[in-house]
Amino acid sequence: MWASRRLIRIPWSIAVIAIAIVSMGWIALARADEIAGTGGRFLNRQVAWSVLAVGVTAMACWPNFRTLARWSYLFLCVAVAMLVLVYWFPPVNGAHRWIRLGPIGWQPSEFAKLAFVLGLARYLMYRDTYRELHGLLVPLVLVMVPVLLVLKEPDLGTALVFLPVLLAMLFAAGTRGRHLVIVSIVGAAMLPILWSQMSREQRSRITALAEQTVPGQTPTRDGYHLHAAKQLLAMGGVVGSILQGELTEDLGAYRVPEPHTDSIVCLVGEQLGLAGVAMLLGLFALLVGRILVVASKTQEPFGRLVATGVAAMIAVQVTINTGMMVGLLPITGLTLPLVSYGGSNLLANAIGLGLVLNIGLRPGYEISSEPFAFAD
């Protein structure tokens, strides 16, 4: 009876939506394997990681999320230490983003986003200094440390995720709107400093967004990625090549940089068309909405802030990834949550969703007008 009540309280809709999103990623990865001629390597590994992600999600649901609050600063310190440790390992494609121990490798920046959410939630949960402008200094320091380390890897896309998540969590904590506006203005004023810290490649990706191309001529260098992405999206039409059955034998026409990671939404569009991309974005909107519902239903401060941070983390990544593939944002190299190939991306998001399920499973609160309304 006790177990059945706990199972009923789990927000299963979040798990169902996440599974649907992961499944759409499998369809795109199968196409990536076909184009690259990898014999199903991408898809097979992603399926294996997906099975592992289910177990990780279940593990994140098990302990009472309130006990994680006392470990949050430790998680953040470990994440920052790993962001420093990457520079002791050989670069991959010119970037220090991976830690490898034999056959096992992981990308610390993926887990650093979640550790930042936990650390910031712990700091904000019982403080009221964030209601004053000077009280925002510590949160700004907390965010700038991982941002600068990730930016130096270099990984501009991931670095851009932290600041919107910070603003979302400050808003959820009750920061005054005018103070958030001031912080945003200060952040905008610091863009020249950010520009000075960017590598030449990162700057060229931003300037490529404004470059004009002669009609009928294929862009080169950084402009080629955006051109190829748009071309691949257009090939899918409205319903996609799966239903149209109009696959060209020239696989070179489907070439786009990083199709299994950063550009995977292009393969979703090619396979499932505009309708498939709209469905994928709709599923993400539902996922973020359901997470925010969980956040709104708990008045326990740490749980509410963590759920808000996870929702913002997913929403920002989806916005940046899809925006850069259609030319609304510069191509910065950011994966699509739950869809892109990679164990670090999938497992980090699985842990985040597991924490949200954990919060939804235990809807009790510590501060309320109703006394003794606790849930284990």
Sequence-distant contacts of 32-38: CB under 8 A, at least 24 apart: 32/259, 32/260, 32/264, 32/267, 32/341, 34/251, 35/251, 35/254, 35/255, 35/259, 36/259, 36/260
Q: How far apart (Å, rounded) are the C-alpha atoms in residues 63 and 266?
A: 38
Burial label, 52 (beta-carbon count in 10 A; 0-12, 13-18, 19+): middle
Asked whether residue 282 is domain-assigned, the answer is yes
What was the pLDDT predicted at 370? 41
**What angle (nearest 5°) sits at the alpha carbon of residue 63, between those of residues 60 and 64?**
115
Structural domain for 88, as ranges: 2-207+217-361
Chain-centroid distance of CA 51 in Å reads: 19
Does the pLDDT at position 376 exceed 80? Answer: no
Count how many domains the chain has. 1
Beta bridge partners of 92: 95
DSSP 8-class letter at 1: -
pLDDT tens digits for 310-344? 999 999 999 999 998 887 887 777 899 999 998 88
Does the pLDDT at position 347 exceed 60? Answer: yes
Asked whether residue 370 is domain-assigned, the answer is no
Give the mean pLDDT of 10-18.
89
Residues 6+ positions from 112 with CB-CB distance below 8 Å: 79, 80, 82, 83, 146, 150
| Structure-model confidence comparison of residues 227 and 11, the more confident one | 11
pTM, two decimal places: 0.87
328 HSE (CA, 13 A, CB side) = 7
- Computed over every residue of the chain, the mean pLDDT equals 81
With a pLDDT cut of 70, the percent of the chain lying above it is 80
Beta bridge partners of 105: 100
pLDDT tens digits for 153-203? 878 888 889 989 999 999 888 887 787 888 778 777 777 776 776 666 667
Q: How far apart (Å, rounded) are the C-alpha atoms in residues 182 and 174?
A: 15
Residue type for position 109? S
Asked whether residue 113 is domain-assigned, the answer is yes
Asked whether residue 373 is domain-assigned, the answer is no
Does the pLDDT at position 129 exceed 80? Answer: no
Asked whether residue 87 is domain-assigned, the answer is yes
Asked whether residue 371 is domain-assigned, the answer is no
Asked whether residue 368 is domain-assigned, the answer is no
pLDDT tens digits for 22-65? 999 999 998 888 877 778 889 999 999 999 999 999 999 888 88
Asked whether residue 212 is domain-assigned, the answer is no
User: At 371, is the pLDDT very low, low, confident or very high (cuts 50, 70, 90)?
Assistant: very low
User: At 232, is the pLDDT very low, low, confident or very high (cuts 50, 70, 90)?
Assistant: confident
Does the pLDDT at position 2 exceed 60? Answer: no
Chain-centroid distance of CA 29 in Å reads: 18
**Cis peptide leading into 215, omega within 30 of 0?**
no
